């Protein structure tokens, strides 16, 4: 058993860039442990991930704001504070804030993430 108090000691919030569009900040909750990473992620309006997969899946706990989750081949679905999203192993997806609101979620990622291309503007919806 390991106990992590609040967030990783000494860790700094990170402005994400290479695999994100817009302004996105991540705050490590705990160091990568046994293939699990947990981060609090803040997306400014229109901020979002690139398309990606997680080897064993991902769980998103939306703690504030509104945004989108999209599985490849499906229409984006709105998500908001209080929602829990389970993304299955190797499901290609993206997630991020709406165009009119920030979004904060706790991302629990299982196994290796494989990052792909940027989400095209035509695939990012307005509203929510």
Query: Which position has the higher pLDDT, 26 or 126?
Result: 26
The answer to the question of residue 9 being in a domain is no
pLDDT-derived band at 32 (thresholds 50, 70, 90) equals confident
Examine the pLDDT at 52 and tell me if it is beyond 80.
yes
Expressed as residue numbers, the domain containing 64 is 14-117
CA-CA distance, 35 to 64, in Å (whole number)?
Answer: 26
Q: Give every CB contact of residue 2 below 8 A, 6+ residues apart in sequence.
A: 30, 33
**What total of structural domains would you count in the chain?**
1
Examine the pLDDT at 27 and tell me if it is beyond 80.
yes
* pLDDT tens per residue across span 69-118: 999 999 999 999 999 999 999 999 999 999 999 999 999 999 999 999 99
The answer to the question of residue 99 being in a domain is yes
pLDDT-derived band at 9 (thresholds 50, 70, 90) equals low
The answer to the question of residue 126 being in a domain is no
The answer to the question of residue 107 being in a domain is yes
The answer to the question of residue 73 being in a domain is yes
Examine the pLDDT at 7 and tell me if it is beyond 70.
no
- 125, 94 contact by CB (below 8 A): no
The answer to the question of residue 78 being in a domain is yes
Which CATH number is 38's domain given? Answer: 2.60.120.10
């Amino acid at each position: 058993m390991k106990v992590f108090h609040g967030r990783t000691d000494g860790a700094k919030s990170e402005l994400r860039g290479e695999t994100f569009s817009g302004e996105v900040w991540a705050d490590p909750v705990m160091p990568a442990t046994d293939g699990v990473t947990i981060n609090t992620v803040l997306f400014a309006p229109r901020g979002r991930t690139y398309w990606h997969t997680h080897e064993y899946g991902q769980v998103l706990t939306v703690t504030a704001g509104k945004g989108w989750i999209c599985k490849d081949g499906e229409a984006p679905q709105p998500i908001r504070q209080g929602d829990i999203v389970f993304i299955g192993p190797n499901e290609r997806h993206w997630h991020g804030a709406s165009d009119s609101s920030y979004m904060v979620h706790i991302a629990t990622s299982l196994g290796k993430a494989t990052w792909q291309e940027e989400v095209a503007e035509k695939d990012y919806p307005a509203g929510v």
